[in-house]
Structure 1
Amino acid sequence: MRRAHLRYPRSLAAVLVASSLVLAGCGGGSDSSDDQTPAAQSVAGGDEIASDWPLTGLPVTGDESASQTHPVLVTKIDNTEASSPQAGLGEADLVVEELVEGGLTRLAAFFYSQLPERVGPVRSMRASDVGIVSPVDASVVTSGAAFKTIQIIKAAGITYYPEGSAGLSRDTTRSAPYNVFANLQTVAKTAETDAARPADYLPWGSDDDFPDGQAATKIAASFGGGHTTNWTYNGKTYTNDDSNAAPDDQFPADTVLVLRVQVGDAGYLDPAGNPVPETKLVGKGQAMIFHGGKLVRGTWSKSDLDSPISLSTKAGKLTVPAGHTWIELVPAANGNVTYTK
């Protein structure tokens, strides 16, 4: 992983290096295939680069490249009513929803194929973010973090851009702390040039690879502390019924992937005196993949914080159909997932 932790602006020459990467290799109403290498496209000099985006598995079009000169930028976004309207989710490649203190959730929105000029409200990091961002060596755009969290993030070698960095500013028409927004194009200009294509975040496949599942068109993912995220399949994509984003800026979820995870204590309290939870995105647990109005159950595994997520069923390896995926990290102990046809 990158050794730098906090980057400040500096001028950079954009260098595009062609590269290729071999990929590393859910009935009831309540819940208490082979590895593939992306197709390649020819580039000048006869080299080839992977032609699928690493965070969606979707094909690269036109003269774009899946190997950008900036890192994956994961922006921490508030997910309470006070964040309304959230900005930028419509251009995210992938979103992870994680538990934070007080039974609330926060979003880790991944940006790589597109870099919007306004994303937010930007909020603080958590220790949980290490396992979330490390598999693609992402940098984090954040308003800041508690001192202990910063120590954990630095020890993991994760670069982060806090308030005060180029591209982050406050919107004076909104109330603090829900008024920090990021221009990711500006943030990217200060980032270390990195032309290597990130690893695939999930084991991507196609609709043809996806097993037959049971009907499930409405989903309720409860995080065990009073917050529940509800989804409705509209015949094409999944609509987040609780979204705080504007109607024209909502995340276009082709798949909702639920991972049942262990949650521990981060070891400190928030300013309101609430214990801060730490999601353990390592080990293994139950998985539920909702795609095309269907549910397939399986198991997820992740050998260490840096490793990619693997999925399987009793029949073998399981892939996620290429597209935009929203990952729900639901606590295994007190969370719950229900669904209806």
Structure 2
Amino acid sequence: MPRRFLTLWLVALLALCATLVTPVTAQIDDQELASLQRQIADLEGQVGELTAQIEAKTAAIDEREASLAQAEIERELLVDDYTIAIEARSRPARLSQTAAINSFILGDPRTEAFLDEITRLETDDRLSSRRQLFDAVIDDALTNLGAAEEELRRVAGVVSDAEAAFAEAEADVTRLGGERAELLEERAGLIRQQRDLRLRIDWLTSLDNRWVLTGRAGWDGAARPALAVKIDNVDAARPQSGINQADLVFEEKIEDGRSRLVAVFHSTPSDPVGPIRSVRTSDPKILQNLGEPLLAHSGGNPGARSALFQSPVINASVNVAPTLYWRNRSRRAPNNLYTNTTSLWSLDLGGTEPAPYFRFRAPGDPLPAGAQEVGVVTVSFGKSVVEYSWTGAGWARRQNGSAHVDVDGIQVAPETVIVQFIGYSPSPADLASPEADVIGQGPAWILTAGHIIEGTWARVTGDAPTIYYDAEGEILKIESGRTWVALPQIDSASSFRLRS
């Protein structure tokens, strides 16, 4: 498994754990919020302490580096002194050597004559003075040579001490740098913990009087489950009823390269809704992370029905409530079966409220750095090809070249579109029918606020939420409102064109 997807898998698992330890509710858990705020405050204190230590280390490093700079200057001056001392030693040495060479090796005539004259006239005061002068020059050269050698030894010792002090200072800088790096890493970890806690707070506060699937205010206290409805999407089934009232719509691939819709209602009813078609084995997998939702459908083959019965999704088909379904005689079967959401909710078939499915962006929150303005996004299911373009308020949808409108003539234009690329396998209920592989991870495009964000998705188990990430691995927040999630084949001919 690629490291990037493994990381996303682990983050998604942590997100799942967070959902499991908190009851699903549309109200804020004040105790948990207070606990999270205390944890953040504690972390801020620790971050502050680490910051002070980091600043102290930085000051110490700056001090050592300043002393190193001064030591470097002093070392250069000592090198100059050392050079001067060597030169000072060499002058008397050369003089002494020159005198000896001239006298005893080269046979300088003047020196020999001088010495011969001394031998003959030992009592000559002038010659004696000259000999004394010569001896004095030699003695002075030897004296200067000794002094120069002493100075050379002294300067060499100072240079050695300076080199040792310089090496010690360099070692201090390296050690302090390592200690500072450890503190920086520790502080970064605490900051990440704060970020995660704030994400948790965002998640909790999003429940405050807001509908969990849209993020919109106005929750009326209703404790009803989500209601999913299978809606046909072939040419003969359009225009449909209810598709603009659904909080969340999944578009899945079926046989022959066509698509079918799974419209999820929670905040807004739709009376009527349809045309309604059969359940597929993909549907329980897609829906089971919405708590225990109801599923309205027209029936299905034995394998598909068995998959539904074995899942937490509650059957609300025409066979369960035949009086709540009817045929619209102005349309031809099988594209004429309808129901209404209010009646199905009134059956009290059980179920639980959906857990929050998305994280919503607050007004003014910036988009991720990788967001790009996009013109047209094309999603291909094969024979069914969909285009989305930003209108300034939503993503206007076209299907096979025509505007996709509902029965009232209103074009579909959800606030957010997610293109979640997945794999498909032959359904065990019908090998000719593809089954969506929605547990795992893969690439995704998130269309929000006129931009496209190329990211990824991850879902670790059937009950776990699907988490969407940007290119940096940060959990994405979307616009509040309705969302359509397209589920094309991962190798489909989908594309987008950036806005010029």
Decide: shared fold, TM above 0.5: yes
Alignment-mate amino acid for residue 184 of structure 1: T
The equivalent of 1:293 in structure 2 is 450
Q: 2:415 aligns with which of 238, 244, 254?
A: 254
1:46-85 deviations in whole A, cap 9, x for unaligned?
A: xxx7312111111226xx23xx232110001001111122
The equivalent of 1:245 in structure 2 is 406
Residues 1:205 and 2:371 aligned together: no
Alpha carbons 2:422, 2:437 under 8 Å: kept: yes
Kindly state the Cα deviation for residue 248 of structure 1 after the two structures are TM-superposed: 4.0
Alpha carbons 1:203, 1:309 under 8 Å: kept: no
Task: Give the whole-Å Cα distance in 2 for the aligned partners of 1:303 and 1:188.
Answer: 30
The equivalent of 1:108 in structure 2 is 262
Residues 1:339 and 2:497 aligned together: yes
Alpha carbons 1:90, 1:248 under 8 Å: kept: no
Q: 2:387 aligns with which of 226, 230, 241?
A: 230
Task: Give the whole-Å Cα distance in 2 for the aligned partners of 1:324 and 1:334.
Answer: 25
Task: Give the whole-Å Cα distance in 1 for the aligned partners of 2:214 and 2:225.
Answer: 15
SS of the equivalent of 1:187 reads helix
Q: 1:218 aligns with which of 376, 382, 391?
A: 376
Residues 1:153 and 2:308 aligned together: yes
1:191-227 deviations in whole A, cap 9, x for unaligned?
A: 2356x6421122323351532411112111012x222
More helix by share: 2
SS of the equivalent of 1:89 reads coil
Kindly state the Cα deviation for residue 335 of structure 1 after the two structures are TM-superposed: 4.6
Kindly state the Cα deviation for residue 186 of structure 1 after the two structures are TM-superposed: 0.8
Alignment-mate amino acid for residue 203 of structure 1: R
SS of the equivalent of 2:244 reads helix
Task: Give the whole-Å Cα distance in 2 for the aligned partners of 1:250 and 1:287.
Answer: 24
Alignment-mate amino acid for residue 294 of structure 1: H
The equivalent of 2:96 in structure 1 is none
Alignment-mate amino acid for residue 111 of structure 1: F
The equivalent of 2:488 in structure 1 is 330
**Sequence identity (%):** 26
Kindly state the Cα deviation for residue 188 of structure 1 after the two structures are TM-superposed: 0.8
Task: Give the whole-Å Cα distance in 2 for the aligned partners of 1:253 and 1:275.
Answer: 31
Kindly state the Cα deviation for residue 244 of structure 1 after the two structures are TM-superposed: 4.9
Residues 1:278 and 2:435 aligned together: yes
Kindly state the Cα deviation for residue 142 of structure 1 after the two structures are TM-superposed: 0.5
The equivalent of 1:39 in structure 2 is 205
Q: 1:303 aligns with which of 460, 466, 471?
A: 460
Change (3 A) 1:162 1:335: farther
Kindly state the Cα deviation for residue 324 of structure 1 after the two structures are TM-superposed: 1.1
What aligned pairs does 1:65-84 form with structure 2 within 5 A after superposition? 65=221, 68-84=222-238
Kindly state the Cα deviation for residue 20 of structure 1 after the two structures are TM-superposed: 4.9
Q: 1:139 aligns with which of 291, 294, 300?
A: 294
Alpha carbons 1:285, 1:299 under 8 Å: kept: yes
1:96-139 deviations in whole A, cap 9, x for unaligned?
A: 10101111100011101111110000011111112221111211
The equivalent of 1:179 in structure 2 is 336
Task: Give the whole-Å Cα distance in 2 for the aligned partners of 1:133 and 1:18.
Answer: 20
Task: Give the whole-Å Cα distance in 2 for the aligned partners of 1:215 and 1:116.
Answer: 33
The equivalent of 1:267 in structure 2 is 428
Kindly state the Cα deviation for residue 283 of structure 1 after the two structures are TM-superposed: 0.5
In structure 1, the gaps of 5 or more residues are: 1-16, 23-32, 41-48
The equivalent of 1:52 in structure 2 is 210
Alpha carbons 1:92, 1:251 under 8 Å: kept: no
Task: Give the whole-Å Cα distance in 2 for the aligned partners of 1:316 and 1:157.
Answer: 30
SS of the equivalent of 2:488 reads strand
Kindly state the Cα deviation for residue 249 of structure 1 after the two structures are TM-superposed: 4.2
Kindly state the Cα deviation for residue 250 of structure 1 after the two structures are TM-superposed: 4.2
In structure 2, the gaps of 5 or more residues are: 1-24, 33-194
Task: Please tell me the root mean square deviation across aligned C-alpha atoms, in Å.
Answer: 2.4
Kindly state the Cα deviation for residue 246 of structure 1 after the two structures are TM-superposed: 3.4
In the superposition, the TM-score normalised over structure 1's length comes to: 0.81
Change (3 A) 1:282 1:18: closer
Alignment-mate amino acid for residue 327 of structure 2: R
1:140-172 deviations in whole A, cap 9, x for unaligned?
A: 010111111001111113212222414211112
1:242-275 deviations in whole A, cap 9, x for unaligned?
A: 2252354444401111111111110344xxxx81
**Structure with max Cα Rg:** 2
Task: Give the whole-Å Cα distance in 2 for the aligned partners of 1:162 and 1:187.
Answer: 10
Task: Give the whole-Å Cα distance in 1 for the aligned partners of 2:484 and 2:387.
Answer: 12
Q: 2:250 aligns with which of 96, 100, 114?
A: 96
Change (3 A) 1:295 1:144: same
Change (3 A) 1:168 1:250: farther
Kindly state the Cα deviation for residue 183 of structure 1 after the two structures are TM-superposed: 1.2
Alignment-mate amino acid for residue 219 of structure 1: V
Task: Give the whole-Å Cα distance in 2 for the aligned partners of 1:330 and 1:120.
Answer: 23
Task: Give the whole-Å Cα distance in 1 for the aligned partners of 2:429 and 2:304.
Answer: 9
Task: Give the whole-Å Cα distance in 2 for the aligned partners of 1:127 and 1:250.
Answer: 30
Residues 1:170 and 2:324 aligned together: no
Task: Give the whole-Å Cα distance in 1 for the aligned partners of 2:205 and 2:279.
Answer: 35
Q: 1:130 aligns with which of 260, 263, 284?
A: 284
Q: 1:317 aligns with which of 475, 478, 487?
A: 475
SS of the equivalent of 1:37 reads helix
SS of the equivalent of 2:313 reads coil
In the superposition, the TM-score normalised over structure 2's length comes to: 0.56
